[in-house]
Chain A
Amino acid sequence: MDGEATGQSRFFLLLIPLACSPLALLVLYPSVGDWTVFFGRFHPVVLHMPIGILMLTAFMEGLNTLSRGRLRLTTFLPLFLGTMSAVAAMTLGVLLMSGEGMEGDLVQAHFLWGVITAALAVVALAIRCLPRFPASPARHSAYLVTLFTGCLVMTWASHLGASITHGETYLTDYIPWRSDEVSDEDAALALALTMPADERMIYEHAVVPIFVNKCYDCHQTRSFKGRLVMDTYEGLLEGGATGPAIVPGDLEASLAIARVHLPLSDEEHMPPANEPQMTDDEIAVIEWWVQRGAPNDATIASLAPDEPIEQSLEAVTQALLAELAADPEDHAYHESTPEEVAELRAPLRDAVDALAGKYPGVVRYESALSDTLVVRSFHDAWTDDRVNELAPVAERVVRLYLPGATLSESSGSTLNAMTQLEVLDVRNAEVGDDWLATLDLPGLKRLNLFGTAVTDDSLEALAQFTGLDSLFLGQTDLTPAAVSQLRERLPGCEIRYEPPVHPTESKS
C-alpha cells in the first residue's frame, strides 16, 4: 500500500476513464469488416497481459496482507496496467467474435465471463483510486475482495477461451493416468465406419465422419465461426454468415463445396490453408451426396452408388479407420535413435557384419534405421554356395537382386527361409524350371525372371505366387499362350512379357 497517511489526489480518478479507453475500439462493432478482424485477432496476443499482471497484483496484495504490514509492495502500477489490458483484451475479444462470426455456448460463456473479468478489474481500480482509499479499511477490504474475485473469474474465463482455440479436452488428452478406453466419439465413429454395407446411412455413417475430422473444430454447436454450425443437419442447410453450407442437389450453391474448391491461397478457402485438407475421395463423397439431394435418412445402397463412388467411399472409410487405429503417439514423427536401431539389429549383428564384411556393399541394411537386409550383387555372378551363406540371416532379407546368378535347387531351402522376402530379381540368371519349382515364397511382391530359361513347365509354379504385384517374364522361353493363362490366374499381378523377337530381324 502506498504510504500516504490521509488521502490521495483526486486526479487519480482520471485514471479510471484512461483504463477504460480501449473501449473506444468498439466503434468497429458489430461488423465483419477487415479492420474489425484485424484488431480482433490481437485478442490472443493481448489477453496474456491481464492474466499475468492481475495475477501478479493479487499475489503482491496477498503477500502484503499476510505480512501484516511488514511488506509494503507497491501495487498501483500493476493494478492500473492489468485493468487497462483486461479492458483491451475484452474489447478485442468482442471484435474478434463479431468479425469472425463466432457463436455457440462456449463463445457466449467466454464472452460473459470475460466481460465480468474486465468489469471487476475496473471496479477494483476505481475503489483503489478513490480519494479516501488509504484511510478506509472498508474500502480496502472491498478492493481486495473485488481483485481476488476478478482473478478467479478471469481464470475461468481464460479456460473457456482456451477451450475454444485448443478444444475442450486439450488439457486432459495426455493425462498420464488416462484410461486406455476408446472415447465415446471415437467409438461412435468406429461403429459408423464398420457398419454392414447395406445398413450404412449416407449422412450419418459417411458424411458426418468426414466433417468430424475436417470441419467440426471450428463449426460445432458449442463454438463456431462464420455463424456456421456443421454438426447438425439443420445447421448445414441453414448455413452461416455468407449462405447455406449445403443446398441439396446444387453443388454450385453449396458453399461447403465451393469453398473447398477455391485455390489454397484464397482466404475464403476451407479448411484453412494451415489445417488438414479434404482429400479428393472425401470431396467426391460429399459432392455425390449433395447431388443425390443430400438426404439425411437414406442408406448408401438406396442411392445406387456407381463404381468410382464405391471406391471413394471405401478409401475414405479406410483412411478414417487407419487414423482411429493409430496410436496418438505415432502422430509425432519419430526417428529411431542409433541405440534403438542397434538394439533392433543386435540378435543377428555378428552374422550380418560378417557377411557385409565379406561382400561389401552387396549385403547391407535396407536403410540406416532398419534391421532388414538388401542383397544386391551387380559385378559378381552369385552361385548356390553364396546364397546358402545367407542362411543365418535369411529371415531378415527383404530384397534380393542376383542378376546373372547361377542357381539350382540346392539354394531353394535358403531362399524359402527368407520369409520377409518381397523382391527377388534374378534377371539373366542361369535358373530353370526346377529351381523355380522349389520356391515357396508367399510374401513375394516382385519376381524378375527376365532373360532366364524358364519355360511353360513353370506355369503351375508361377501361379502359386499369389501375392505378386509384378512379374517380369521378358525374353524367357514362356509362350504367349502360357502367359495369358497366367494372367488369368494372377489377376492382381502386372505381368511384363513381350513375345520373343525372332532373330530374323537384322541390325538396322
Chain B
Amino acid sequence: MNLFEELEYKRLKKITRRNFLAQCTTGLGAMWMGGMLGQRAMASGIGYDIQHDPSNPLSALPPRFTAKAKNVIFLHMVGGPSQLELFDYRPALAELDGKPCPPSLLEGQNFAFIQGTPQILGPLVKFKQHGQSGAWVSELLPHFSQIVDDVCFVKSMTTDQFNHGPAQLVVHTGNARLGNASAGAWITYGLGTENQNLPGYMVLLSGGRLPRAGKALWGSGYLPSVYQGVLCRSAGDPILNVKNPALVDTDMRRAALDALNQLNAEEYQSKHDTETSTRIAQYEMAFRMQTSVPAAMDINDEPASIHELYGTEPGKASFANNCLLARKLVERGVRYVQLFDWGWDSHGTNEGESLDIGFVRKCKQIDRPMTALIKDLKQRGMLEDTLVVWGSEFGRTPMKENRGGTDTKYNGRDHSPASFTFWMAGAGVKPGVTYGETDAMGYQVADNPVWLRDFHATLLHILGIDHGRLTYPYQGLNQKLTGVKDASVINGILS
C-alpha cells in the first residue's frame, strides 16, 4: 500500500459503521454529558439569547424582567475624592488627628505613596446632618445637602486596586485588566437604545486630561465595537468627524453612503462578519447624527432658569454643562450617559491636588450642577426612570500622605481602596437611605461591604437584567460584567 492508499483506507475506516458504533460508546456519552453537565455547571442559568435586529445592532430590546430604570447617568469623579471630607463623617478620626497611625492599621495594606508610619489626618471640614434621613454631608456641598432625602448612600464600597488605571477599569468593566467590555457597553448590548439617531452610550469629559485608563473605560472589549461609548466634546464639534467636509452636501453624502453600504452588504453576505454589519450601522448612525447630535448637544436653547440652576457656561467644557447635557441626552432616549470629572486626586503634593485648596475648588464645581441634575430630573418626572450614580475608583486614606516628609505645605490623603462612598438616586433605589458602614476611622468596611461587582449586579438588576445571564462567549468563557467571582444584588438599597 502506498501512502495515498493508506490514507484512503484510514479515511474509509473512519466512516464505517463499526467505527461509528465504537465511537458511540465514549463519544456520544461524552457529548451527552457535556450537554447535561455543561448546562448545570452554569450555575446561574443559561445566558440570555440577545437577538438584535440584524441590520441594527442597537435596536431597542425589552428588559428580561420588568425594569425600574431605563437610563443611567454615571458621574465619575476621576482620581478618588476623599469620602472623609464629603460623606463619611468619622468623629473618632478628629480625636486622633496628628497622632502616628497605629501599626495595626498599616499591616498588610498596600499604599501608592505612603511610606513608614504616617500620621492620622482628621476631617478637615465640618459635617452636618441634613434632611429627614439625617444624612451627614460636609459643608463643602451646601447645595447637595438639600437633596439628601432623594439620595441613597453606599458607604461601604470596596475594591482591590489602589492605582487609578486598574481601579477605574474595575469600576467600568469589572476587571482590572484591559480588554473587557464596559458596563455601558454591556447595557447597550443587552437593551439597545431607544433613539436611533443618537448613540446609545455617550461619554462626556469635563476638560482636563483623559482618565488614566483612557478610552478602555468606555470600550466594548470583546463585544461588537458598536456598543462602545461615544466620546463627546462639550466645546467645538461635539463628535469629531461627523461633519460633512467642505463642498460636500447632504445629498452627496447620502449617495456616497449608499454605494458604500452596498459594498459592505455584499461583503457581509459572503463573510458574515458582524463587524461589517456594525460598520454599516455606524455609517448610517453617523449620517443621522449629523443633524441630531448638534441639536442634542446644544444647551443654548435651555431657559435662563435652567442655566441658573446648573450654573452652566455655554461653549466651555465644564462639569455643569455636562450635567445639563446628560439630562438632555437621557431626555432624548440615550441609554447610558457617562460623565468623567477630572482633578480629584488630592495627594497634597501641590495646591491643585491638595485637600485644602484644590479639593474645595472641585467640590464647588460639582456641588451645584449635580444637585441641579437631580432636581431637574425630579421635576420633569425623569428620575422615576433614570438612575444617577455618583462615585469614583476608590476613596482616600484616613492617614495623611507623607510623600516628601511629614511637614508638607498642603494636606493630602493617599489612595484607599478599602472603603469609599457611592451615592445613587432615582429609579430602583430607595431614597434617603444609607447602606453599609466603615469602621470608626473610616478606613476599612465594618458592615455590608459592596464590591464593584455587587454594584454592577445591582445596576443590571435595576435595568431588568440578571447579571449572571448577560453573557458573551469569548476565549472559552462566557464573559460577564460581574466576572467569575460571586456577585450579589444589594437588596438593601432596592426600592
Contact = CB atoms under 8 A, between A and B. Distances in A.
Contacts of A427: 380-381
Nearest to B310: A508
B384 interface: yes
Contacts of A498: 379
A474 interface: yes
Contacts, number: 92
Nearest to B198: A379
Interface in B164-218: 192-198
A278 to B, nearest CB: 16
B282 interface: no
Contacts of B379: 450, 472, 474-475, 496, 498
If over half of B's interface residues share one DSSP class (helix, strand or loop), that class is named, otherwise mixed; here it is: loop
Given A450-B380, A474-B380, A505 B304 contact: yes
B332 interface: yes
Interface string B309-337: 00100000000000000000001110000
Interface in B375-428: 378-381, 384
Contact of A446 (B59, B66, B381): B381
B65 to A, nearest CB: 5
- Residue in A365, A378, A446, A496 whose Cβ sees the most chain B Cβ within 10 Å: A378
A505 B331 CA distance: 25
B233 interface: no
B70 interface: yes
Interface in B55-95: 56, 59-67, 70
Nearest to A472: B381
A446 B68 CA distance: 14
A448 interface: yes
Interface residues of B, number: 36
A501 interface: yes
B63 A367 contact: yes
Interface in A488-508: 496, 498, 501, 503, 505-508
Interface in B242-294: 292
Contact of A496 (B194, B195, B381): B381
Contact of A361 (B48, B66, B194, B311): B194
Contact of B196 (A365, A379, A451, A470): A379
A434 to B, nearest CB: 22
B453 interface: no
Contact of A364 (B62, B195, B197, B311): B62
A425 interface: yes
Contacts of B67: 367
Contact of B304 (A376, A475, A507): A507
A369 B384 contact: no
A508 B331 contact: no
Contact of A376 (B63, B70, B305): B70
A238 interface: no
A379 B333 contact: yes
B237 interface: no
A194 to B, nearest CB: 29
B348 interface: no
Interface residues of A, number: 34
Nearest to B45: A335
A125 B378 CA distance: 80
Interface in B10-41: none
B66 A367 contact: yes
Interface in A361-391: 361-362, 364-370, 374, 376, 378-379
A367 B308 contact: no
A167 interface: no
B380 A369 contact: no
B194 A378 contact: yes
Contact of B63 (A362, A368, A448, A503): A368
Contacts of B196: 360-361, 379
Contacts of A470: 381, 384
A40 interface: no
A376 B63 CA distance: 14
A378 B195 contact: yes
A7 B66 CA distance: 78
Contact of B62 (A365, A403, A472): A365
B62 A368 contact: yes
Nearest to A451: B380
- Residue in B53, B332, B333, B464 whose Cβ sees the most chain A Cβ within 10 Å: B333
Contacts of A446: 381, 384
Contacts of B347: none
B332 A472 contact: no
Contact of A366 (B59, B66, B308, B381): B66
15 contacts: A361-B60, A361-B192, A361-B194, A362-B194, A368-B64, A370-B62, A378-B194, A378-B195, A379-B195, A379-B196, A379-B292, A425-B381, A450-B379, A496-B381, A503-B303
Given A367-B63, A369-B64, A474-B379, 10 more contacts: A361-B196, A362-B60, A374-B62, A378-B194, A379-B332, A451-B380, A496-B379, A505-B305, A505-B308, A508-B308
